[in-house]
Amino acid sequence: MLLIKVIESRLVYRAIVYSALVLTVSCTRIRNGFIEEGAPVVINLDSSARHYSLASLVDSVRAISLETNNNSIISDPVFVKQIIYKNNRYFVFDDKFYAIKVFDSEGKYLYDLCRLGLGKGESLHIEDIEFDCSRNLVMVLSNRPMKILEFSLDGHLAKEQTLNFFASGFAFPSVDRRIFYINQNRSEVSSNKNILLTDSNNVVKSRMFDFPKNIHATSYFSGGLYSTGQGIFFNPVFSDTFYRMTGDTAKPAYKTNYSSRNIPPGTPEIEIDKNLKHFSFQYTTFATYRDYIGFNYFGGIRSAAFFNTRSGRTVTSDILSDSLNILFSNSMFENDGKLVMVLDLNSLAGFLQRNAKAIQQRFPAIYKHIHVPNAKQNPLLLEFVLKEI
């Protein structure tokens, strides 16, 4: 399975990047943020529990074929880490090629954001991209060299800021505040904390979330920091809890239950790695949409789950309940009021051909893009609405 191979290959990459620079801190003391105790809402993803079928609740599908040419090619849909939709443009971050491909609302390739290199407006290793709504800018987190690049929506570099610490994710709760996810990369700035709260000049004001005692390596497929229309959430690596971040406080909001596939608390990292196929855990995606929160998870295969916060009902892409759920099992993203999923036309070519008639009847917008590819083609983006349950 491609996903298992990707996970196993990522596990080989264990080098933890340390900051080579020392932050010059003023006399102001760096406080520790506050992590509240509480009773988060439990999302039951036990395979024996009753779940609604995602494909049966998908409505108003729009399929956008991303143009494939020598300049626009994406390495593989499984490496699409982030999609931002603003100003009728899709900013697609390819985490393998460290590239940001920009397409218009119909999927036509426009340009690359952030050139490859070490100069101004360039990066050799992009870690994350986010949208700063307070300033209407696309923000790029680079770790080689360590800096933040700010781009206008038409692709022009507005500003660069150097960073004195490594981070694998960031968020912008307000014009004068930033949140960084350190991802087990200890430095003199981060100490042993996974979340740094800074001002707009990246000066650290607070730290929170101790590094897990059982996890030592950077993870590229579990845990993350997420900006959504309902706020900012943090899910520590291999943790079952999503925390809502407000000011310098984190409050447990949602907790997943995989029953017998839960990772026992404190399980050594080497044991998790050895038994990865037998556990379930959240991936690096989290979205909020109307009354739903959604995320991708591993439960033997890559799946998607949506939880209705009003009704308490859970929707999954379990292929045993509906084979067409495989169309909606991939990475999900939400911004600007749009819920988007990536569909890999290459790896699913055989399934799409065999089930063309069923797809034509239920999802005609997707059916229009089904054909036998002559060569590798870019993924399809699916914009859709979920019915209320």
Averaged over 178-205, what is the pLDDT? 96
Cα separation, 142 vs 150, in Å, equals 11
Residue 337 binned pLDDT confidence (cut-offs 50, 70, 90): confident
Rounded distance, CA 91 to CA 370, Å?
24
Average of per-residue pLDDT across 135-143: 96
pLDDT at 25 over 60: no
Q: Does 185 score more than 60 pLDDT? A: yes
Higher pLDDT, 374 or 186: 186
**Arithmetic mean of pLDDT, 199-210:** 96
Average pLDDT over residues 84-91: 95
Of the chain, the percentage scoring pLDDT greater than 70 comes to 92
Beta bridge partners of 32: 207
**If 0-12 CB within 10 Å is exposed, 13-18 middle and 19+ buried, where does residue 145 land?**
middle
Question: Is pLDDT at 18 greater than 80 in this prediction?
Answer: no
Give the pLDDT score at 338. 82
Task: Tell me what pLDDT residue 336 has.
Answer: 80
pLDDT at 10 over 80: no
Cα–Cα distance measured from residue 92 to residue 117, given in angstroms and rounded to the nearest whole number: 19
CATH architecture of the domain covering 2-23+33-386:
6 Propeller (2.120)
Does the pLDDT at position 222 exceed 90? yes
> How is the chain split into domains, by residue range?
2-23+33-386
Residue pLDDT, tens place only, 39-54: 999 999 998 889 999 9
pLDDT tens-digit series, residues 236-255: 999 999 999 999 999 999 99
In the chain, % of residues over pLDDT 90: 86
Q: Take residue 304 and report the two structure tokens written for it.
A: 């998607």
- Using CB atoms within 10 A of its CB, is residue 174 exposed (0-12), middle (13-18) or buried (19+)? exposed
Q: What is the mean pLDDT of the chain?
A: 91
Lowest mean pLDDT among 83-87, 99-103, 371-375: 371-375
Residue 16 has pLDDT above 70, yes or no: no
Q: Which two tokens stand for residue 272?
A: 């998790």
Using CA atoms in the order 323, 325, 327, 330, what is the torsion angle rounded to 10 degrees? -130
Per-residue pLDDT for 322 more than 60? yes
Q: Letter for the amino acid at 151?
A: F
Run of H or E including 143: strand 137-144
Asked whether residue 15 carries a pLDDT value surpassing 70, the answer given is: no
Q: Mean of the pLDDT values across residues 220-231?
A: 94
Q: Say whether pLDDT at 19 is over 90.
A: no
pLDDT at 6 over 70: no
Quote the radius of gyration of the chain (alpha carbons, Å).
20
Residue 11: pLDDT band (50, 70, 90) is very low
